[in-house]
Structure 1
Amino acid sequence: MPAIPDPTPDPPPPPPALDQLPVADLQRVGPRVQERLARLGIHSVQDLLFHLPVRYQDRGLVVPLTDLRPGAEVQIEGEVGETQISYGGRRSLKVWLTDGTATGEQPIPGGVLLRFFHFSPQQVAALRPGVRLRCYGEVRQGPNSLELVHPEYRLCGADEAPPPAPRLTPIYPSTEGLQQSSWRGLTDQALALLAQHPPGECLPAAVLAGFALPDLGTALDYVHRPPLAASLADLTERRHPAFLRLAFEELVAHQVSLRRLRLAHLRTPAPVLAGDGGLRRRLREVLPFALTPDQEQAAAEIAADLARALPMQRLLQGDVGSGKTVVAALAALQAIESGRQAALMVPTELLSEQHYRGLATWLEPLGVAPVWLTGRHKGRERTALLAAIAAGRAPLVIGTHALIQEEVRFADLGLSIIDEQHRFGVHQRMRLREKGAQEGGAPHQLIMTATPIPRSLAMTLYADLDLSVIAKAPPGRTPIVTVALPDGRREAVIGRVHDACAAGRQAYWVCTLIEESEALQAQAAQETARQLGDCLPGVRVGLVHGRQRAPEREAVMAAFAAAALDLLVATTVIEVGVDVPNASLMIIENPERLGLSQLHQLRGRVGRGARESHCVLLYHAPLSVQARDRLALIRATLDGFRIAEEDLKMRGAGEVLGTRQTGTLEFRVADPLRDQHLTGAAQRAADLILARYPDLVEPLMQRWLGRREVFGVV
Structure 2
Amino acid sequence: MIAPDWRLQALPGVGERSVQRLHRLNIYTLADLLLHLPIRYEDRTRLRRIADLSAGERALVEGAIAWSEVAQGRRRRLLCRISDGSGQLDLVFFNYPPKTAERLQRGLWLRCFGEVRAGYGSLQMVHPEYKRVKPGDTDRLSEALTPVYRSTDGLHQKKLRSLVDVALELFAQHGQDHLDGSMLPESGWPGLLEAFQQIHRPSPETDTQALLEGRHPAVQRVAYEELLAHHLTLRRYRLNLHAAATAPVLDGGEGLAGQLRDTLPFELTAAQLRVDSEVAADMAQPSPMLRLLQGDVGSGKTVIAALACARAIGSGYQAAVMAPTELLAEQHWRTLSSWLIPLEVELAWLSGSASTAQRRSAMQSLAAGRAGVAIGTHALFQEAVEFFRLGLVVIDEQHRFGVNQRLALKEKAGSVEPHQLSMTATPIPRTLAMTIYADLDVSLLDERPPGRGEVKTVAVSSARRDEVIERIRGALLEGRQAYWVCTLVEASEELDAQAAEETAEELARELDECTIGLIHGRMAAAEKERAMAQFAAGEIELLVATTVIEVGVDVANASLMIIDNAERLGLAQLHQLRGRVGRGSSASSCVLMYHGPLSAVSRQRLEVMRETTDGFVIAERDLQIRGPGEFLGSRQTGDLGLKVADLSRDKALLDTVQRVAGRLLTEQPDVVEALIERWIGEAQRYGQV
Residue aligning to 1:402? 379
Secondary structure of 1:279's partner? Answer: helix
Paired AA for residue 75 in structure 1: A
Matched-pair contact (CA < 8 Å) for 1:420–1:449: yes
Paired AA for residue 529 in structure 1: E
Displacement, 1:41? Answer: 2.0
Q: Relative to structure 1, is the Cα distance of residues 234 and 153 closer, same or farther in structure 2, using a 3 angstrom cutoff?
A: same
2:282 is the alignment partner of 1:311: no
Instruction: Please give the TM-score of this superposition, normalised by the length of structure 1.
Output: 0.80
Paired AA for residue 444 in structure 1: H
2:248 is the alignment partner of 1:264: no
Displacement, 1:710? Answer: 5.3
2:261 is the alignment partner of 1:284: yes
2:141 is the alignment partner of 1:169: no
Secondary structure of 1:200's partner? Answer: coil
Q: Relative to structure 1, is the Cα distance of residues 660 and 255 closer, same or farther in structure 2, using a 3 angstrom cutoff?
A: closer
Residue aligning to 1:243? 219
Residue aligning to 1:327? 304
Mean Cα displacement is larger for which, 110-119 or 567-576?
A: 110-119
Q: Relative to structure 1, is the Cα distance of residues 334 and 180 closer, same or farther in structure 2, using a 3 angstrom cutoff?
A: same
2:59 is the alignment partner of 1:75: yes
Q: Relative to structure 1, is the Cα distance of residues 387 and 251 closer, same or farther in structure 2, using a 3 angstrom cutoff?
A: same
Counterparts of 2:458 and 2:122, CA distance in 1: 43
2:26 is the alignment partner of 1:41: yes
Mean Cα displacement is larger for which, 385-394 or 354-363?
A: 385-394
**Aligned equivalent of 2:350, options 344, 357, 373:** 373
Q: Relative to structure 1, is the Cα distance of residues 53 and 491 closer, same or farther in structure 2, using a 3 angstrom cutoff?
A: farther
Counterparts of 2:61 and 2:300, CA distance in 1: 66
How many residue pairs were aligned?
A: 679
Counterparts of 1:335 and 1:350, CA distance in 2: 25
2:587 is the alignment partner of 1:602: no
Counterparts of 2:565 and 2:98, CA distance in 1: 47
Paired AA for residue 21 in structure 2: R
Percent identical across equivalent pairs?
46
Matched-pair contact (CA < 8 Å) for 2:253–2:313: no
Counterparts of 1:480 and 1:146, CA distance in 2: 64
Displacement, 1:320? Answer: 1.5
Instruction: Please give the TM-score of this superposition, normalised by the length of structure 2.
Output: 0.83
2:344 is the alignment partner of 1:359: no
Mean Cα displacement is larger for which, 225-234 or 20-29?
A: 20-29
2:478 is the alignment partner of 1:505: no
Matched-pair contact (CA < 8 Å) for 1:388–1:394: yes
**Aligned equivalent of 1:465, options 429, 440, 448:** 440
2:276 is the alignment partner of 1:299: yes
Secondary structure of 1:415's partner? Answer: strand
**Which structure 1 segments of 5+ residues have no match?**
1-15, 103-109
Residue aligning to 1:627? 602
Q: Relative to structure 1, is the Cα distance of residues 269 and 93 closer, same or farther in structure 2, using a 3 angstrom cutoff?
A: same
Displacement, 1:463? Answer: 0.8
Secondary structure of 2:681's partner? Answer: coil
Counterparts of 1:500 and 1:112, CA distance in 2: 72
Displacement, 1:237? Answer: 3.4
Paired AA for residue 344 in structure 1: V
Matched-pair contact (CA < 8 Å) for 1:498–1:536: no
Matched-pair contact (CA < 8 Å) for 2:91–2:128: no
Displacement, 1:431? Answer: 2.4
Displacement, 1:658? Answer: 2.6
Displacement, 1:466? Answer: 0.7
Residue aligning to 1:52? 37
Q: Within 5 A, what are the aligned runs for 1:439-450? A: 440-450=415-425
**Aligned equivalent of 2:633, options 658, 667, 684:** 658
Residue aligning to 2:452? 477
Q: Relative to structure 1, is the Cα distance of residues 461 and 370 closer, same or farther in structure 2, using a 3 angstrom cutoff?
A: same
Counterparts of 1:384 and 1:132, CA distance in 2: 81
What is the root-mean-square deviation of aligned Cα atoms in Å? Answer: 4.4
Residue aligning to 1:12? none
Q: Relative to structure 1, is the Cα distance of residues 381 and 145 closer, same or farther in structure 2, using a 3 angstrom cutoff?
A: farther
Matched-pair contact (CA < 8 Å) for 2:79–2:90: yes
Matched-pair contact (CA < 8 Å) for 2:50–2:84: no
2:7 is the alignment partner of 1:22: yes
Q: Relative to structure 1, is the Cα distance of residues 210 and 381 closer, same or farther in structure 2, using a 3 angstrom cutoff?
A: closer
Residue aligning to 2:644? 669
Q: Relative to structure 1, is the Cα distance of residues 419 and 94 closer, same or farther in structure 2, using a 3 angstrom cutoff?
A: farther
Displacement, 1:270? Answer: 1.9
Q: Relative to structure 1, is the Cα distance of residues 269 and 179 closer, same or farther in structure 2, using a 3 angstrom cutoff?
A: same
Q: Within 5 A, what are the aligned runs for 1:207-246? A: 207=183, 212-246=188-222
1:51-97 CA distance string (max 9 Å, x none):
22244455557777787778x65436487889887977xx6969798
2:390 is the alignment partner of 1:413: yes
Displacement, 1:313? Answer: 0.8
Counterparts of 1:498 and 1:161, CA distance in 2: 82
Displacement, 1:381? Answer: 4.4
**Aligned equivalent of 1:456, options 424, 431, 441:** 431
Secondary structure of 2:683's partner? Answer: coil
